[in-house]
Amino acid sequence: MRVGSLEYEKCKNLCWNLLPKVSRSFALCIQVLPKPIDEQMMTAYLLYRVIDTIEDCDAPLEAKKGMFDKVLDSAGRENFDLDDARKCRDELRGKISAGYETELLANFDSLMRLYYSQPPEIRKAIGKWGRVMAAGMYEFLQKDIRTFSDQNKYSYYVAGVVGYLINDILYYNKVIDAKLKKKLRAHARRFGLALQKVNILRDVARDIKERRHYWPEYVMKKYRLSYENICLPENRKAAMKMLRAEIKDSLRYLHSAMFYIVSLPKNAVRVRMFCAIPLFMAIESFAKCNDNQDVFDSAARVKISRLKVYEIVAKSWLLAAFNGLMVGWFFQSLRGIPMPPHSPLLNNL
């Protein structure tokens, strides 16, 4: 079934309206991208958000596996199949009790129509990394995060693959060439890990309250901590030691993400902005978490102000083309947090 121009425009507008409802921060970032990269990333983000919603829902494990497969099958066809998309939509709505993702699930068929309007190479990349994401999520639905290696592997599945996708999309749109794509591949992966690991760091108290466990259990045991006691006031001293271990492990990924940005062509200002905005929002959260006991208080969630977000957007626009100023802003934002050994910013710039 061909995607007609009227249907395409309707679905495109609907999906753009859905984007800020499922993530205001990523809506802000994606909208600064040049055309047609903005639409390609918006489509990918919404599809991956459906996959993420399946992971977080209360359905039984095997039901989640079936929904992962159904979504990926729907996105893996040669051409758009409206009947299949509607069947998948109805199955998702019947098995998932979602909050702000409800409207996204209700319009899964429209998302698929927009997805099939993208170039075949873009669909191939989105589908490829979506399959890796879903397989990794399913793997960690069956096992715990016990070490930092586990945490990094989980972060790769849910966010590192998005870094790879960004690299693929930039290459397809001739923002980067094959040589630069290869050079930046590992840093693209670490870019995604950086954003995810900051979320894991910042949201620990809320995640534990909602029975989501992303901190490494074996490392917590070193400080005589567990998910049952890490947020108790009487364990703050030990919890702060664990927090420092998390910060130390996360820091190198932030440096790699910054290297990714300053390695992009300087004339790709909007692409650099797209990368810089979420990174500097993550860095601000990261710096606020450093030596901050509020990390372990779910009632005192560590977050950056809306004014700070506006400041980051403005500075990203002003500084995006200037590597020295961008790196200076990066170190200033980290507020004296020691640099990890072998930072790519020092070794490769």
**pLDDT (mean) for 202-214:** 93
Nearest CA-CA partner of 247 in 198, 189, 182, 181: 198
- Least trusted range by pLDDT, from 22-26, 39-43, 74-78, 183-187: 22-26
How do residues 264-318 score in pLDDT, each as one tens digit? Answer: 999 999 999 999 999 999 999 999 999 999 999 988 878 889 999 999 999 999 9
- Residue 346 reports pLDDT greater than 90: no
Q: Place 343 in a pLDDT band, splitting at 50, 70 and 90.
A: confident
Work out the number of other CB atoms within 10 angstroms of the CB of residue 20. Answer: 14
Domain boundary among 101, 128, 143: 143
From CA 252, how far away is CA 107, in angstroms rounded?
A: 39
Give the per-residue SS3 of the chain: CCCCHHHHHHHHHHHHHHHHHHCHHHHHHHCCCCCCHHHHHHHHHHHHHHHHHHHHCCCCHHHHHHHHHHHHHHCCCCCCCHHHHHHHHHHHHHHCCCCCCHHHHHCHHHHHHHHCCCCHHHHHHHHHHHHHHHHHHHHHHCCCCCCHHHHHHHHHHHHHHHHHHHHHHHHHCCCCCHHHHHHHHHHHHHHHHHHHHHHHHHCHHHHHHCCCCCCCHHHHHHCCCCCCCCCCHHHHHHHHHHHHHHHHHHHHHHHHHHHHHHHCCCCCHHHHHHHHHHHHHHHHHHHHHCCCHHHHCCCCCCCCCHHHHHHHHHHHHHHCCCHHHHHHHHHHHCCCCCCCCCCHHHHHC
Q: Are residues 288 and 157 in the same domain?
A: yes
In contact, 72 and 123? CB cutoff 8 Å: no
Q: Are residues 18 and 118 in the same domain?
A: yes
Domain boundary among 124, 143, 162: 143
Nearest CA-CA partner of 115 in 80, 86, 150, 167: 80
- Residue 253 is predicted with a pLDDT of 94
CATH number, domain with residue 87: 1.10.600.10
Q: Are residues 212 and 320 in the same domain?
A: yes
Q: How many structural domains comprise the chain? A: 2
- Residue 49 reports pLDDT greater than 60: yes
Q: Are residues 223 and 309 in the same domain?
A: yes
In contact, 33 and 41? CB cutoff 8 Å: yes
Q: Are residues 215 and 323 in the same domain?
A: yes
Range of the domain at 57: 1-143
Q: Are residues 90 and 237 in the same domain?
A: no
Q: Are residues 171 and 275 in the same domain?
A: yes
- Residue 252 reports pLDDT greater than 60: yes
Q: Place 1 in a pLDDT band, splitting at 50, 70 and 90.
A: very low
Q: Are residues 32 and 149 in the same domain?
A: no
How do residues 162-181 score in pLDDT, each as one tens digit? Answer: 999 999 999 999 999 999 99
Domain boundary among 93, 128, 143: 143
Q: Are residues 10 and 94 in the same domain?
A: yes
Question: In Å, how far from its chain's centre is CA 142?
Answer: 21
How do residues 73-86 score in pLDDT, each as one tens digit? Answer: 999 999 999 999 99
